[in-house]
Amino acid sequence: MDSPRPARILLGVTGGIAAYKSPDLVRRLRERGAEVQVVMTRGAANFITPLTLQAVSGRPVRDTLWDGSAEAAMDHIELARWADAVLVAPATADFLARLAHGHADDLLSTLCLATAAPLAVAPAMNRLMWGNAATRANVALLESRGVAIFGPGTGEQACGETGEGRMLEPAELAELLLARLPRERVLAGLKVVITAGPTRELIDPVRFISNRSSGKMGYAVACAARDAGAEVVLVSGPVALPAPAGVQRVCVESAEQMYEAVHAALPGADIYIGTAAVADYRPVAVAPQKIKKTAENLRVELVRAPDILGSVAALRQGRPFVVGFAAETENLEEHARRKLLGKRLDMIAANRVGDGLAFDRDDNSLLVLWNGGREDLGAGGKPELARRLVALIGAVRCSVRQAPADTAAGES
């Protein structure tokens, strides 16, 4: 199946102290699947070397209008056409002024004039420079022409002062920029229910059994489904992540609560994606008080927690397209295929865990299986993998007939 070509971002770096964050910004954009071409101003080179930005972007950095060899390869007009979006981060007060007044006396300002791609700037400067009437007027002019102004944030500044003028953090800038790019809305008009995070099964009021899960993959899938045009209900176990904008989040603790919340959200759902690391067992009873450590050995009797994924796949009426996740430490494909068939799923996304892989990390790798199909989505940042997975779900859901759910869900 063809994957869409990566987004092409032209990143302009100008001469402010926040340029030290530019390599991280390049990384954040690339882990979200973008290709990044860095263009530096002369001032930027006082804060960060082109070699560093070349190393993280994987492309030679461009910094002058007068480089004959670079112009022979891709001249400044081609470069301006190549970009799907231009982000200038950090954008100094001087650069904003030059941009507002249409200067074209270096490569970056020329590209900004010559591109038809959306343009965003992330201002970074001392709070008084940001508040100065000249800067305010320049920013208002740029905004009125459709330039997106990302930030700045408020906080401690490199000059020792505190106030407005800090560049936004790289991860936030990457999200803001990529969210503005037109995407294929493969799930437009569909309702998607997604579970994420771990569950907690209480032993007593202060102790619980849980699974290792940060929720990052499930939250990334929720954002990708939202960006693909879906109405998203995210049923989340306890995680340290903020609710994604534009997504309805339902917070739960235990597997039973997650089961109830999922089935309450399912009416009208077209797709169910179970990324949660649901506990397989829960204590038979929750001790009403904290258990004292008097005995040498303690037995906690466990019973099976509800199999949420299996129950959705077994629905006879209103059954959505059902996608499960499988975290495996060995024989990834074999175990995942057994789960796909055993639980009568429509699709399963398998990731290898253990040995420092997947858990609590920002990247992952996914192998996706469905009846009659297989696609290795490779490795990458979780947001980018989530986007690839959502594109695949949209395509496969359209092309395969759902298996009839007329036999009981098997066990894996």
* Residue ranges binding ligand C5P (CB under 6 A): 195, 255, 274, 276, 278, 280, 305, 307-309, 324-326, 339, 412
Cα–Cα distance for residue pair 157/164, rounded to 1 Å = 9
We find the least distance from the C-beta atom of residue 2 to ligand C5P, in angstroms, to be 27
The first and second tokens of residue 181, run together, are 């790019």
Secondary structure element (H or E) that encloses residue 51, with its range: helix 50-57
Options 112, 159, 223, 251, the catalytic residue: 159
Cα–Cα distance for residue pair 38/91, rounded to 1 Å = 14
We find the least distance from the C-beta atom of residue 32 to ligand C5P, in angstroms, to be 24
We find the least distance from the C-beta atom of residue 193 to ligand C5P, in angstroms, to be 12
The first and second tokens of residue 408, run together, are 């009981």
For ligand C5P, give the closer residue by CB, 93 or 305: 305
Nearest to 346 by CA among 386, 405, 306: 405
Identify whether the C-beta of residue 386 lies closer than 8 Å to the C-beta of residue 224.
yes
Q: Report the amino acid identity of residue 135.
A: T
Identify whether the C-beta of residue 8 lies closer than 8 Å to the C-beta of residue 37.
yes
Identify whether the C-beta of residue 380 lies closer than 8 Å to the C-beta of residue 363.
yes
Sequence-distant (6+) residues with CB within 8 A of 338 are: 412
We find the least distance from the C-beta atom of residue 372 to ligand C5P, in angstroms, to be 20
Asked whether the bond before 90 is cis by omega within 30 degrees of 0, the reply is: yes
We find the least distance from the C-beta atom of residue 89 to ligand C5P, in angstroms, to be 37
For ligand C5P, give the closer residue by CB, 130 or 325: 325
We find the least distance from the C-beta atom of residue 113 to ligand C5P, in angstroms, to be 50
For ligand C5P, give the closer residue by CB, 40 or 255: 255
Find the length of the chain.
412
The answer to whether residue 159 is catalytic is yes
Secondary structure element (H or E) that encloses residue 374, with its range: strand 373-381
Give CA separation, 55 vs 14, 27, 367, in Å.
18, 10, 29
Give me the sign of the Cα torsion angle 36, 40, 45, 47.
Answer: negative
We find the least distance from the C-beta atom of residue 182 to ligand C5P, in angstroms, to be 31
For ligand C5P, give the closer residue by CB, 101 or 304: 304
Long-range contacts of 152-158 (CB under 8 A, 24+ apart): 152/122, 152/123, 152/124, 152/125, 157/126, 157/127, 158/17, 158/18
For ligand C5P, give the closer residue by CB, 22 or 213: 213
Sequence-distant (6+) residues with CB within 8 A of 356 are: none
Q: What's the chain's Rg over C-alpha atoms?
A: 25
For ligand C5P, give the closer residue by CB, 172 or 280: 280
Provide the 10 A C-beta neighbour count for residue 323.
30
For ligand C5P, give the closer residue by CB, 29 or 308: 308
Asked whether the bond before 50 is cis by omega within 30 degrees of 0, the reply is: no
Biggest alpha carbon–alpha carbon distance for the chain: 80
Q: Report the amino acid identity of residue 232.
A: V
We find the least distance from the C-beta atom of residue 173 to ligand C5P, in angstroms, to be 32
The residue assigned the tokens 């009981």 is 408
For ligand C5P, give the closer residue by CB, 186 or 255: 255
Q: Hey, which residues are catalytic here?
A: 159
